[in-house]
Amino acid sequence: MAGEGLTHVVFELEQRDGWPPHASERVWAKAMPDGLYRIENIPFYAPGVSFGDLVAAEGREGELVFSKVVKPSGNSTVQVIFFAKDRVQAVRDALRGLGCDSEVSEIDTMIAVDVPAETRYDEVFELLDGGFRRGELDYSESALRHDHPLPPDASKPRSMGLE
């Protein structure tokens, strides 16, 4: 991706009980004429950011370090961990059918999902929450930008029990 005029923006991560497995995440971004950066891949661990967001970053020790989201894209980001590797591709295919892109992490049972602004989140939610209720996966709505009512038993978006 670097050959496509992209650079990395570093997101410093808060670790708790060994999660996430890294202290930072490097996300591909494109420099914009106004000095902002447009996120060009789906974040695996960085909370509150999605594909297409315009972000501010500051130079620190030779790297661009994320400081804030300036203009959200309207996309949502969902991180999914599967309890059985054989379910990963089937769920990715189903998500693709709903209009979502996904990327597989270095942890082969984890994916990051981009839910475009125009995609109906209720269908994505039904798919993922069904897998959660069957004990197949857990998921975190790390950047929920869709107008989606929470289920009756939830007071905030899912976070894989990490909050």
Tell me the mean pLDDT in the region 132-155: 79
Among residues of the chain, what percentage have pLDDT more than 70? 88
State residue 163's pLDDT score. 42
- Alpha-carbon distance 151 to 79, whole Å? 18
Q: Is 163 helix (H, G, I), strand (E, B) or coil?
A: coil
Task: Between 148 and 94, name the one with better pLDDT.
Answer: 94
- Alpha-carbon distance 26 to 63, whole Å? 10
Q: Give domain limits for the chain.
A: 2-71, 76-143
- Indicate the pTM of the whole model: 0.86
Tell me the mean pLDDT in the region 51-64: 94
Least-confidence region, from 20-29, 45-54, 55-64, 139-148: 139-148
State residue 113's pLDDT score. 98
Q: Is residue 32 over pLDDT 90?
A: yes
Q: Which residue from 134, 38, 141, 37 is spatially nearest to 80, judged by alpha carbons?
A: 141
- Specify the CATH number of the domain 76-143: 3.30.70.2030
Rg (CA), the chain: 16
Q: Is 162 helix (H, G, I), strand (E, B) or coil?
A: coil
Number of Cβ within a 10 Å radius of residue 89: 12
Q: Is residue 2 over pLDDT 90?
A: no
State residue 161's pLDDT score. 47
Strand partners, 64: 9, 59
